[in-house]
Chain A
Amino acid sequence: MGEAVGTAELRESFREVLDDIVAAGCVRRHVDEGASRCAPLWTKAAELGWFALLTPESHGGLGLPRAAAAALYEELGRAAAPLPIAAALAATEIVSAFGSQAQQAQWLSRLAGGDAAAFSASGPALDDASLRLANAALFGETGDLLDGVEAALLLAPVRDGENLRWALIDAADLSMQRIALVDRTRSLARARLDGAPASVFSADAHAIARKLRIHMSIALACDSIGGAREVLAFTIAYLKTREQFGKPIGSFQALKHRCAEHLVAIEAASALLGEAVSRWERDDIEAELYALLIKAQACDVYAAVAEDAVQLHGGIGFTWEHMCHVYLKRAKLNQVLFGASAAYHDAAARLLAA
């Protein structure tokens, strides 16, 4: 609906690749084994230039509009794909927009080639930046790094005396400890920095934080809508085939109504998401407000749909073998990544009242 032709074609191509990855059992194996890197998917994504979607052409990238990334995030969500790409694309944006020539030369082609980036998913509290800068080197610990052990690059707010700045740190210069999550398609990490060389951005720290937050809000909202659509689709398919009392359980009104309500919620959130993406693409002055609103709404809708899907499946939905729990766990994590809905509602309220 209303998607530009180029983006629609791209979405189709993302979907085809991901369908193959899912059909090959990659996601399932990744979850069962609790592995950290889904190599087949990552290799494919890097090969196909997914990491270069937003990289300027002058740096060897595709220079596509942000809607392309949004379509990718939605498809990744649909597949519950273990691919840490959103933070890499967000970092690409930051380096392109705020980096010096040297920083761009050092990082843009690496990121475009498939190197992942990580930053803290704790939420918008910039003020408790825990890393200290001394003689261009960083000291301290920082946590909640989404998919940190996969990352080649760490992006972190640092204290430089009185000043707050963002810095780029090569992951090779620090030690990262993995923290497994109940959602096995993602993980967190803690990093220790003991004099790691830092490449500091001169731009206003809050401007960078805002850009990152908008990007990750939209990324998680897309992931959530993609996931919610998939969960509803396989739940509906089950309700049509599972029979009890001599008929498909989907014929029972109590279940029909719930499915209808989920569809209403998904379509409503999806409409807002489309608007948020287009404002983001245009750097509209209300892009941030829309990103905040849709992060909360889409993640909550996903959680509600995934939560009910288990119930609608009955005993089979409670098993490890079924995919229900993979989506439920992903939905519950999305709800709290980069702050929970309450924080987004508060931030949106502040923007509206400002």
Chain B
Amino acid sequence: MTAKGKSESRTFAPLAHRDDLDAFRNEVRNWLGAVVPEGWFARSAGAPEADYLAFQRWWLGEMQKVGLATPHWPKDWGGEDLSLRHQVIVSEEMVRAGAPNPDLYVVSLYHLPATLFAHGAPAQRERYLKGVVERGEIWCQGFSEPNAGSDLAALRTRAERRGDVFVVNGQKVWSSFAAHANYCLLLARTDPNAPKKQAGISYFILDMKSPGVTVRRIKQMTGQSEFCELFFDDVEIPGENLIGAENAGWAIAQSTLSAERGLIIFDLAERMHAAFVREIAAVRAAAPAWWADAALRRTFVTHYGELQSLRLLIRRMLSELDENPEMGASALPPLIKIKWSELLRRHTDFWLAVGGLNAQEDAPPLTGGGHITGNRMQDFMSSYAWTIAGGANEIIKTLIAERTLGLPR
């Protein structure tokens, strides 16, 4: 797989048309038509990891050239202050064009800004948000530990203040993309004697090149090794890398997690919709054999309806956010996470039923294109990432029951 675009006949400037939504959409479409390499997705099948990384870097770079890598970020931090309506247009067009998903940068593009916008010091925003925009820095999230998963507040990784630095010892686990990351969003315990376990946690920026950091990959059931274990042995973090106040990390972590439960799903749901649209076009052209099976047809249509519900919920959330950008203001993110992840599991399972024995054949994974890739077993297995990560569904449902419905704890 080569990270090579088609020859560009002209430069594209979608942002020059920001005041006219139709013209903006048009220019995004033109740009994508010129830049997205033909057949990149099929070529991603089984490609070596180095190619995947190079391709992701190249793609982030292309998006940056036209100002569309971080268009909704504030101008001061390398963004374009673009409204969510513009962002919706960009995503719709990306999906329509079958453009790659910059999934290597998911923490850089979503979790990091969700954390720093609200809680970062100006110097941190300046340094690290620009680092993503200008240098394509990769971030990972170091929250979970072997004994602190659902009960994240039980985390034991210790950060002790010694003069100007914090000295970190402990272990993290399941940290996605950590093997490639430049930085880590790290939660560690600074006050082991706090009256509540939530009250003794602080939030740090960790440079992954710091002495004492060891990264070990963990192989997943899919055969890939995207998440890792992290070990810290007297790792020094400069005091200026503390985000927010000491021992105030728990509340900040909630901002990070809400990013996961809302915005990321928007793009993935649009990609699932695009897969439906392609399938429906195929049915119109010449109905595939499975379409003659009433049970399968009904399941397909049921899922289609559910996906439209999800897309509408997401749009409602986006307009709520447009009015009040503080993620906590919307009650919808946890609902969206449950709806998306459960639909994803059932829908990938539906494709297994359609695929029959063929779908059970071992085939190389397709990367960078969302969750409906056509490698049916891979898609099915990857759906667990959404029912377990970012707060398992059981935990999210309790949260909905208690916070939204007000049921007793």
Contact = CB atoms under 8 A, between A and B. Distances in A.
Interface of A: 121-122, 144, 179-183, 188, 243-246, 249, 252, 254-255, 307, 310-311, 314-315, 317-322, 324-325, 328-329, 332-333, 335-337, 340, 342
A246 B150 CA distance: 11
Nearest to B352: A332
A311 B388 contact: yes
B17 interface: no
A320 B151 contact: no
Given A314-B392, A332-B380, A121 B357 contact: yes
A319 B220 contact: yes
Contacts of B393: 311
A188 B150 contact: no
A318 B362 contact: no
B358 to A, nearest CB: 9
Interface in B358-409: 359-362, 377, 380-381, 384-385, 387-389, 392-394, 397-398
B337 to A, nearest CB: 14
Among the interface residues B219, B356, B397, B398, which one has the most CB atoms of the partner chain A within 10 A? B356
B357 A255 contact: no
A333 B360 contact: yes
Contact of B353 (A180, A252, A333, A340): A340
Contacts of B356: 336, 340
22 contacts: A182-B377, A183-B360, A188-B361, A245-B150, A254-B394, A254-B398, A310-B221, A311-B384, A315-B149, A315-B174, A318-B385, A318-B388, A319-B219, A319-B221, A325-B381, A328-B221, A332-B377, A335-B352, A336-B353, A336-B360, A340-B353, A342-B353
Contact of B392 (A180, A307, A311, A322): A311
B31 to A, nearest CB: 37
B313 interface: no
* Chain B interface residue bracket vs A: 35 or more
Nearest to A325: B221
A246 B360 CA distance: 40
Given A255-B394, A315-B144, A179 B221 contact: no
Contacts of B49: none
A311 B221 CA distance: 13
Which secondary structure dominates where chain B touches chain A?
Answer: helix
A314 B174 CA distance: 11
Given A244-B151, A310-B221, A332-B380, 13 more contacts: A179-B361, A188-B357, A254-B394, A255-B394, A307-B345, A311-B388, A314-B388, A315-B144, A315-B149, A318-B388, A320-B221, A321-B218, A342-B353
Contacts of A243: 147
Given A182-B377, A332-B377, A336-B356, A318 B150 contact: no
A342 B295 CA distance: 8
Interface string B147-172: 10111001000000000000000000
Contacts of B387: 311
A320 B219 contact: yes
B362 A182 contact: yes
Nearest to B394: A254
Contacts of A321: 218-219
Contacts of A181: 360-362
A244 B360 contact: no
B264 to A, nearest CB: 18
Contacts of A144: 357
B223 interface: yes
Given A182-B377, A252-B394, A321-B219, A314 B361 contact: no
B220 A320 contact: yes
Given A318-B388, A336-B357, A244 B150 contact: yes
Contacts of A246: 151
Interface in B162-191: 173-174
Contacts of B360: 181-183, 332-333, 336
Nearest to B296: A342
Nearest to B389: A315
A130 B361 CA distance: 21
A333 B361 CA distance: 10
A323 B218 CA distance: 15
- Of all A-B residue pairs in the complex, the 7 with the closest CB atoms, nearest first, are A325-B221, A320-B219, A244-B151, A180-B362, A182-B377, A315-B174, A245-B151
Contacts of B377: 182, 329, 332
Given A319-B219, A320-B221, A244 B149 contact: yes
Contacts of B19: none
A315 B394 contact: no
Interface string B273-298: 00000000000000000000101100
A26 B100 CA distance: 41
A244 B144 CA distance: 12
Interface string B193-233: 00000000000000000000000001111010000000000
Contacts of A180: 361-362
Contacts of B357: 121-122, 144, 188, 336-337
Nearest to A321: B219
B361 A244 contact: no
A318 B393 CA distance: 15
